[in-house]
Amino acid sequence: MAKLHFNYAAMNAGKSTTLLQASFNYHERGMETLAFTAEIDDRDEPGIIASRIGLRKDAILFSAETDLFQTVEEILASKPIACVFLDEAQFLAEAQVMQLAAIVDDLDIPVVCYGLRTDFRGRLFEGSARLLAIADELRELKTICRCGRKATMNLRIDEDGNAISSGEKIEIGGNERYIPLCRKHFYDAFEKGGSDLDK
Q: Identify which of 40, 9, 37, 7 has the alpha carbon closest to the alpha carbon of residue 22.
A: 7
Total residue length of the chain: 199
pLDDT digits (tens, 9 = 90+) for 40-89: 766 667 677 777 766 778 899 999 999 999 999 999 999 999 999 999 99
Task: Dump pLDDT digits (tens) for 116-140.
Answer: 999 988 899 999 999 999 999 999 9
The span from the CA of 119 to the CA of 95, in Å, is 20
Catalytic residues: 88
Pairing verdict, β 60-62 and 111-116: unpaired
**With contact defined as beta carbons under 8 Å apart, do 55 and 25 qualify?**
no
Comparison of pLDDT for 85 and 178, the residue scoring more = 85
Give the architecture (CATH level 2) of 4-142.
3-Layer(aba) Sandwich (3.40)
Q: Cα(171)–Cα(156) distance, rounded to whole angstroms? A: 9
Judged on CB neighbours under 10 Å (0-12, 13-18, 19+), 55 is: middle
Q: How far apart are alpha carbons 124 and 47 in whole angstroms?
A: 26
Whole-model pTM: value is 0.86
Q: What is the DSSP letter of 86?
A: E
Give the model's confidence band at 170: pLDDT under 50 very low, under 70 low, under 90 confident, else very high. low
Band of the pLDDT at 141, cuts 50, 70, 90? very high
